[in-house]
């Protein structure tokens, strides 16, 4: 009698290259760039390709950067290129609105993530409900998740589940975690909810792949990763590396290795001037626990005010600034400058 090898556990990889990657280029990707990568990701059978301004739907602004294309153009361009992959979008209440969600689903978004600061899941209630009413898959994610403990994260994820989220999880927005941090938090969340758990890593300490593997081993089954790690600061979990690591670890991603390696080359050649790297500023951002996307404005402000960018990151960390508070960077820089006179 023939025996068949046991089925390997399936991990769903969610690819925000065309959203988080926007941080690295000032939100200036054009339609040809979006299309080229979307076609390559689709050919590799990437399950979900996320697109949009780096900070999500409705976020294009003078404060955090205007995108080259409006949301509708980005979504339409990518939707046309995806014949099998699903299209994802991201929205943080306060930047985006219910109207933005309706427009995104109208333009073909299949998966919609609603994000909140790690202690403020209650702000997702209305928008998760809107997404469910629109018929798209609703997911809830907690930003800057290192800023509270495992038990509180689990409680916040349970709240989002109650509001209608069909998957919940955490983002290591500052690249602050060690694998043990991830294990503890994901275990707490998987114990508290009965839906898929999400993990999104950043590579400021060079641990994004290791942290993602720790998340999988702790029970997460939706993992974010971008081609060549294209993303804010030191970049995200590197997608093509993670595919290979998960395959070696005995997990099935459904993604073709040769095809995702080709997509990584498309990303390197068409989307970025250079792949992300771990520089001293990225390390300072991680240690300070400050959003990786602050790198560009911190460097610009530090040069303008004549202060050390590492000192500026550490001072911002002491004040526990979060995305959306970019206007505080100049204030803190001036305070540092005055203190050294």
Tell me, what's the pLDDT at 324? Answer: 67
What's the burial of 305, exposed, middle or buried (CB within 10 Å: 0-12/13-18/19+)? middle
Closest CA to 75 of 44, 47, 108, 98: 108
Tell me, what's the pLDDT at 333? Answer: 80
Catalytic residue among 4, 14, 22, 23: 23
Q: Please state, rounded to an integer, the average pLDDT across all residues of the chain.
A: 93
Is 23 designated active site? yes
DSSP state string for 80-135: HH-SSSEEEEEE-BTTB-HHHHHHHHHTT--EEEEEEETT-GGGGHHHHHHHHHHT
- Residue found by looking up tokens 């951002």 in the block: 285
Reading the chain (341 residues) residue by residue, the pLDDT tens digits are 555 556 678 999 999 999 999 999 999 999 999 999 999 999 999 999 999 999 999 999 987 889 999 999 999 999 999 999 999 999 999 999 999 999 999 999 999 999 999 999 999 999 999 999 999 999 999 999 999 999 999 999 999 999 999 999 999 999 999 999 999 999 999 999 999 999 999 999 999 999 999 999 999 999 999 999 999 889 999 999 999 999 999 999 999 999 999 999 999 999 998 889 999 888 988 998 888 778 778 888 888 888 888 888 888 888 887 766 777 888 878 888 788 76
137: left (phi over 0), alpha (psi -120 to 50) or beta: beta
**Cα 57 to chain centroid, rounded:** 13
Element (H, E) at 51: strand 48-51
Measure the CA–CA gap between 25 and 296, rounded to whole angstroms.
10
pLDDT tens-place string over residues 290-320? 887 787 788 888 888 888 888 888 888 888 8
Tell me, what's the pLDDT at 39? Answer: 98
Tell me, what's the pLDDT at 318? Answer: 86
Give strand pairing partners of 29: none
Tell me, what's the pLDDT at 5? Answer: 56
pTM above 0.85, yes or no: yes
Measure the CA–CA gap between 222 and 28, rounded to whole angstroms.
28
Tell me, what's the pLDDT at 311? Answer: 85
Q: State whether residue 138 is helix, strand or coil.
A: strand
- Joined together, the tokens standing for residue 123 give 């702000």
> How many Cα atoms are found within 13 Å in the side-chain-facing hemisphere of 216?
24
What's the burial of 266, exposed, middle or buried (CB within 10 Å: 0-12/13-18/19+)? buried
Measure the CA–CA gap between 312 and 321, rounded to whole angstroms.
12
């Amino acid at each position: 009698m023939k025996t068949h090898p046991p089925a390997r556990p399936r991990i769903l990889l969610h690819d925000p290259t065309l959203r988080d990657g926007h941080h690295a280029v000032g939100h200036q990707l054009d339609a040809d760039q979006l299309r080229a990568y979307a076609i390559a990701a689709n050919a590799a059978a990437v399950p979900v390709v996320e697109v949009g301004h780096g900070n999500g739907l409705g976020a294009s602004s003078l404060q955090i950067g205007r995108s080259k294309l409006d949301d509708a153009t980005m979504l339409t361009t990518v939707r046309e290129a995806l014949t099998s992959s699903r299209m994802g979008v991201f929205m943080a209440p306060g930047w985006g609105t219910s109207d933005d969600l309706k427009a995104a689903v109208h333009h073909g978004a299949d998966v919609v993530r609603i994000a909140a600061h790690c202690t403020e899941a209650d702000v997702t209630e209305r928008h998760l409900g809107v997404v469910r009413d629109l018929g798209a898959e609703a997911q809830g994610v907690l930003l800057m998740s290192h800023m509270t403990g495992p038990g509180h994260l689990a409680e916040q994820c349970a709240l989002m589940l109650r509001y209608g989220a069909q998957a919940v999880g955490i983002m290591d927005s500052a690249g602050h975690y060690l694998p043990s941090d991830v294990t503890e938090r994901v275990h707490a969340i998987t114990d508290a909810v009965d839906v898929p758990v999400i993990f999104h890593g950043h590579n400021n300490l060079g641990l994004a792949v290791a942290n993602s593997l720790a998340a999988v081993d702790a029970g997460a089954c939706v993992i974010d990763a971008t081609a060549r790690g294209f993303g804010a600061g030191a970049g995200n979990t590197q997608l093509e590396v993670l595919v290979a690591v998960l395959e070696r670890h005995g997990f099935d991603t459904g993604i073709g290795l040769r095809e995702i390696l080709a997509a990584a080359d498309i990303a390197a050649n068409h989307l970025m001037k250079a792949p992300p790297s771990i520089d001293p500023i990225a390390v300072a951002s991680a240690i300070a626990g400050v959003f990786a996307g602050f790198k560009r404005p911190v460097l610009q402000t530090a040069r303008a005010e004549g202060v050390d960018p590492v000192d500026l990151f550490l001072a911002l960390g002491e004040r526990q600034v979060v995305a959306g508070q970019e206007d505080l960077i100049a204030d803190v820089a001036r305070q540092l400058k005055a203190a050294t006179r």
